[in-house]
Chain A
Amino acid sequence: MDQWGSFSDFISMGGYGRYVWGAYGMVIFCFICELVSLSRRRQRAAKELLLEARAHQAEEDL
C-alpha cells in the first residue's frame, strides 16, 4: 500500500509515467468516445424509428 511515497511518485511511475499513463489514458479516452458514439447512434435510431412510425400511423388514419 505504501509503495508510493507521494502523489508525484505515483504519477512518475519510477520514470515510466508517460508510458503507463499514455496506455491507461488511451483506454479511458477510447471507452468514453465509444460510449458517446453509442448514445448518439441510439438517439438517431430512435428518432428515425419514431418518424417512420408516425408516417405509418398517418397513412393508416387516412
Chain B
Amino acid sequence: MTSTSIFTPEGMYRFAGKLAVPCLVSAAIVALIAFYLGFFVAPVDVTQGNSYRILYIHVASAWMAMLLYVLMAIFCILGLVTEKKLWPMIAASLAPTGALMAFLALWTGSLWGRPTWGAYWVWDARLTSALILFFFYLGYLALQNAIPDWRRADKACSVIGIVGVINVPIVYFSVQWWNTLHQGASLTSSGSSIHPIMLTALLVMVAAFWLYTFGATFARLRSIILEREKGEEWAQELALKGEL
C-alpha cells in the first residue's frame, strides 16, 4: 500500500472514507447531548417562553450556512489559482450541505419569528441577506448541474462562489449596520448575552452540526471523486478489487 498525499483525489478518497461515518455517528451522539442540555437542563426563557429553544438549531444552521459559503469560496479560489483537481471537488461537495443549512436557518427562523414577532417573514436586512445567501447556493448548484463538462462547470461555479462571498459579511453584520427586527448577535468577541447553560447547549449543538457537515461533506466528496476519476487507474483498480 503506497501512501499518497491527501491533497490528491486518491489520497483524499481514502482519508474521507476513514472519517465520514465516525463524524456522522458522533454528530448524532453530540446532538442528543445538546438536545438534553437545551431541553432538560436549560431553563425556560423569561420573555420568550419555550419558543426560544429553536435558538439551538437556528443559530447552529445559520453559522454553518455562512461558514460553509466562506470555505466554499476559498476552495473555488484555490481551484482557479492552482488548477489542482481536488479543490473544485471540495467546493462542490460543500455546496449542497451549505444550501441545506441556509434553508434550515430560514425555516427555523421563520418558525421562531412567528411567535416572537408575529410574522413568519419580514423583509428585514438580516432575513433578506440570508435569503440571498440561500439563492447563491442554489445558483451554484443549478450551474453545476446545468454544465455536463465538470471542468467548465467548476470555472463557472467558482465565479458564483467568489462573488457570493461578498454577501456573507453583509448577512453577519446586517444586524449592526441596519435597524433590523432581527436581534443583534448574542455572542461576540467581548462576551455572551445569554445564560451560560443556554450558551453551553448552543455550542454543543454547533459542534454536532460541524460533525454532521464534515461527515456529509466527506461522504459526498468520495462520490464526486469516484464520478470524476472513473477513468483513472487507481479508482478502477479499487473497484475491481472490490475495495471502494
A residues contacting B by CB (< 8 A) are 1, 3-4, 10, 13-16, 19-20, 22-24, 26-27, 30-31, 34-35, 38-39, 41-42, 44-46, 48-50, 52-54, 56-57
Chain B residues with CB under 8 Å of A42's CB are 219, 222-223, 226
How many residue pairs between the two chains, A and B, have CB atoms under 8 Å in the bound complex? Answer: 104
B residues adjacent to A (C-beta < 8 A) = 24, 39-41, 43-44, 49-51, 53-54, 57-58, 61, 96-97, 100, 103-104, 107-108, 111-112, 114-115, 212, 216, 219-220, 222-223, 226-227, 230-231, 235-237, 239-240, 244
Given contacts A14-B49, A30-B103, A42-B222, contact A19 B40 (CB under 8 A): no
Name the distance in Å between A53's Cβ and chain B's nearest Cβ.
4
Task: Indicate if the CB atoms of B108 and A27 lie closer than 8 Å.
Answer: yes
Chain B binding surface, main DSSP class: helix
Give Cα A19 to B118, complex, Å.
12
Is A3 in contact with B240, judged by CB distance below 8 angstroms? no
Q: In whole angstroms, what is the CA distance A48 to B100 when docked?
A: 27
28 interchain pairs (CB within 8 A)? A10-B39, A13-B49, A14-B50, A16-B115, A19-B54, A20-B54, A23-B54, A23-B112, A27-B57, A30-B100, A30-B104, A31-B212, A34-B97, A34-B216, A38-B223, A39-B219, A42-B219, A42-B226, A48-B226, A49-B230, A49-B239, A50-B239, A50-B240, A52-B231, A52-B236, A53-B236, A53-B239, A54-B240
